[in-house]
């Protein structure tokens, strides 16, 4: 089974060093090409912003679910997971409909007198972030909820009994105990964000290129296999390095349900 994962990665790695000619020419573009640096910078920036917003929204949702009763938790989880059953393509076009200049968001803001002219909410980084956050919130909720469920309610009760207020018990007890889930969710969302293709392609309108779309452009349109393979290799290395660093901080396998 491992061969099915390792062999393609090794093939991509080999192409990155041999096309169009053997050497480090493709990797030199990391230092000399403004377009490569811009794509990497855009991908990291959107990934970080998406991760931060998804964590904030996801934490609030996970906290609300964790404090609910069993019946309410089932309904909350259903609401969180339902979007995962909808095609990412359908969701991307739905956001285009909502955010375009004649869309419901702009029309609503204009009707309320908040703006005089439609805002550019799509076919830019803002639209990409909105679409990606919508997609990633459920993935942020699940690891954080898993960590919150392991917090013994008696610990919070003890903090309250010792004089801590509701805010104090949350900040000094609940939040620190839930941080492993926050870290795991952040790693998951950030790694997923690095490889997004459909959502940035549609909501970015071809004006904002992220890594996956740039790789597709190099390999399928410009037939520059070496450049595409180079950036793909860089992404894989970045993902593995991120997992290696954060796996030392928290038990990612347990939080992701991969083992004891």
7-64 confidence digits (pLDDT tens) = 888 899 999 999 888 989 999 999 999 999 999 999 999 999 999 999 999 999 999 9
Task: For residues 27 and 231, give the distance between their C-alpha atoms in angstroms, rounded to a whole number.
Answer: 8
Task: For residues 39 and 35, give the distance between their C-alpha atoms in angstroms, rounded to a whole number.
Answer: 6
Domains of the chain: 2-255 (1.10.3720.10)
Q: How confident is the model at residue 260 (pLDDT cuts 50, 70, 90)?
A: very low
Task: For residues 129 and 258, give the distance between their C-alpha atoms in angstroms, rounded to a whole number.
Answer: 29
Predicted confidence at residue 163, as pLDDT, reads: 76
Q: How confident is the model at residue 157 (pLDDT cuts 50, 70, 90)?
A: confident
pLDDT tens digits along 198-250: 999 999 988 899 999 999 999 999 989 999 999 999 999 999 888 888 877 76
Predicted confidence at residue 1, as pLDDT, reads: 67
Give the torsion through C-alpha atoms of 224, 226, 227, 233, to 10 deg. Answer: 140
Predicted confidence at residue 83, as pLDDT, reads: 87
Task: For residues 241 and 130, give the distance between their C-alpha atoms in angstroms, rounded to a whole number.
Answer: 27
Predicted confidence at residue 169, as pLDDT, reads: 83
pLDDT tens digits along 90-137: 999 999 999 999 999 999 999 999 999 999 999 999 999 999 999 999
User: What is the rounded radius of gyration, in angstroms, for the C-alpha atoms of the chain?
Assistant: 22
- Contact, 226 vs 59, CB < 8 A? no
Mean of the per-residue pLDDT values of the chain = 90
User: If you average pLDDT over residues 154-167, what whole number do you get?
Assistant: 79
User: If you average pLDDT over residues 137-154, what whole number do you get?
Assistant: 91
- pLDDT above 80 (res 251): no
- pLDDT above 60 (res 259): no
- pLDDT above 70 (res 80): yes
Predicted confidence at residue 257, as pLDDT, reads: 53
- Contact, 177 vs 151, CB < 8 A? yes
What count of other Cβ atoms lies within 10 Å of the Cβ of residue 118?
Answer: 16
* Whether the model pTM is above 0.85: yes
Predicted confidence at residue 175, as pLDDT, reads: 92
Task: For residues 40 and 55, give the distance between their C-alpha atoms in angstroms, rounded to a whole number.
Answer: 22
């Amino acid at each position: 089974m491992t061969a099915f994962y390792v062999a393609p990665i090794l093939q991509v790695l080999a192409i990155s060093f041999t096309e169009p000619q053997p050497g480090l020419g493709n990797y030199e573009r990391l230092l000399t090409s403004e377009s490569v640096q811009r794509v990497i910078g855009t991908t990291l920036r959107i990934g970080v912003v998406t991760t931060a917003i998804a964590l904030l929204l996801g934490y609030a949702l996970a906290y609300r679910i964790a404090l609910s009763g069993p019946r309410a938790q089932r309904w909350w989880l259903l609401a969180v997971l339902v979007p995962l059953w909808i095609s990412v393509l359908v969701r991307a076009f739905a956001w285009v409909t909502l955010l375009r200049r004649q869309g419901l968001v702009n029309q609503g803001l204009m009707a309320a007198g908040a703006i005089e002219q439609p805002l550019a909410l799509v076919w830019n980084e803002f639209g990409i972030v909105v679409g990606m956050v919508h997609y990633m919130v459920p993935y942020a909720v699940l690891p954080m909820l898993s960590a919150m469920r392991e917090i013994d309610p008696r610990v919070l009760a003890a903090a309250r009994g010792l004089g801590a207020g509701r805010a104090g018990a949350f900040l000094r007890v609940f939040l620190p105990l839930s941080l492993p889930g926050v870290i795991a969710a952040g790693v998951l969302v950030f790694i997923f964000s690095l490889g997004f293709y459909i959502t940035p392609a549609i909501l970015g309108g071809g004006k904002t290129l992220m890594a996956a779309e740039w790789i597709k452009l190099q390999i399928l349109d410009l037939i520059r296999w070496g450049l595409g393979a180079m950036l793909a290799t860089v992404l894989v290395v970045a993902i593995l390095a991120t997992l290696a660093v954060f796996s030392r901080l928290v038990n990612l396998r347990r939080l992701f349900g991969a083992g004891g």
